[in-house]
Amino acid sequence: MNGFSLWVYEMRAALRRPAPLFLSFFIPILLLGLVLLSVYRLVPQNEENIQAAIVDLDQTFETKALVNQLSEDEEMKKALTLLPMSSEKADEDFKSGNLAGIITIPKGFSKSLRIGENDPIQVITNEKQPLSSNMLKLLLDSGAMYISASQSAVNTVYDLHIKELSDSGERSQKIQQAILTFTMFALSRNDAFSQEELKSGSRIGWKAHGLLAVLLTVISSFALFFHWFESKHAPSSLLLRLRSYHITQPQLFRVHWGKGFFLISIIGCVYWGLATQWSNLLSVESALVTILMAAFMASLLACCRSLINHIGLRMVALLLVTLIGLGAGGVWVPSLYLPEYLSSAVWNPFGILYSLYEQNMMGKDFSKVLLVQIVVWILLLFVSGLLFALRKERRHAYVSYFERS
């Protein structure tokens, strides 16, 4: 029996025993569906903006301009709706649960700002709306930094220029003008600050990133599940029988690699086809990345099979490698949020595969550097596994591969 005949026998056996193939295909989808359902239930589905009241007790020109700028700011409106109202109306709506918080500008705020003192704006948040309250705090912390910067600018102008003026009326006019100018600059993102638009932490957007995360995860999960089910149905007596047909360890390694590559390629392309039906973000060229991922996973599985005989230890090692690779490769969490030493995809084949999919979604040609890197990974694992198989063959001395003179 040669290697090709054994491969055909293994493929026929896999089709005659469809349960492992069937379970390996659907279990990742079911598990992923349960995870997504749990996350969906945890995230509030209310897409309305955060409602907060702003109460101006000072009622000066500066505070009215501040309230108007905050209420009408286009960027702020996307996440937060500030409703100017009286103190009594704000307390009433807050108690009824209609507001996530109340922002109160105290009386004398403008006067304290003119003399360089910090009379803080009071903020009350609703603990019954923790997500909205935390978001409100983040937005206000951002605004507080701008106000602090504008106040520092006002103090600088006052010390270097306004304080030297002899006329108190002119001095008061200048400082009011400085307060208004720097505060408006601080709050106006388009005028005083340059703005760069990013797609929420991922270069391809969250929808495309989620699609790639699902695709890479289910392909990897199928490979691991099928390897586990297949290994459980491979008794040691079968290996002894193969020995009687002069089947060597290197031949077994190549057969296992070919079987894994063929099945993972087919199932991976099925997953890929389902993904393209659900979204038009993936093009036909991205099927090449699916084939490369099948070759990589087949090499990883075959190499571990040659290196670790115990199925339990082997599965633990494969699971750890896969989880670390997917997590550190920017597949689940965009690399923007990962430490710098993890964001480099050179050492992580899962990150390389993600980057190739990402380039395809962005309409770019595949990077030759990334293609070379993933091919090197595939060859490295394949050759390492083959060497382990040869070493095992020599140790057991089943075949005269290593003859002594």
Distance CA 301, CA 231 (A): 11
How far is Cα of residue 24 from the mean position of the Cα atoms in its chain? 25
The tokens describing 56, both together, are 């101006």
What confidence tier does 197 reach under pLDDT thresholds 50, 70, 90? very low
> Do residues 378 and 372 lie in contact, with contact meaning Cβ atoms separated by under 8 Å?
no
Q: In whole angstroms, give the CA distance from residue 297 to residue 281.
A: 24
Whole-structure pTM value: 0.63
Closest by Cα among 222, 311, 220, 312 to 21: 222
Residue whose tokens read 């690779």: 325
Residue 289 reports pLDDT greater than 90? yes
Quickly tell me which residue has 């380039």 as its tokens. 359
Domains of the chain, CATH where assigned:
3-37+201-396 (no CATH), 50-192 (3.40.1710)
pLDDT of residue 200: 42
pLDDT for 188 beyond 50: no
More confident residue, 150 or 110: 110
Average pLDDT of the chain is 76
User: Is 327 within 8 Å of 337 (Cβ atoms)?
Assistant: no
User: Which range has the worst mean pLDDT, 107-121, 149-163, 278-292, 353-367?
Assistant: 149-163
Q: What percent of the chain has pLDDT over 90?
A: 27
Least confidently predicted of 40-44, 61-65, 180-184, 384-388: 180-184
**pLDDT tens-digit readout, 343-402:** 665 679 999 999 999 998 888 889 999 999 999 999 999 999 999 988 887 765 554 444
Instruction: State the pLDDT at residue 100.
Output: 82
Give the model confidence (pLDDT) of 15-31 as tens digits: 888 888 899 999 998 98
Q: What angle (nearest 5°) sits at the alpha carbon of residue 24, between those of residues 22 and 27?
A: 100
Predicted confidence (pLDDT) at residue 79 exceeds the cutoff of 80: no
Buried b (16+ CB within 10 A) or exposed e, 229-251: bbbeeeeeeeeeebeeeebbbbb
Residue 239 has φ and ψ, to the nearest 5°, of -65, -40
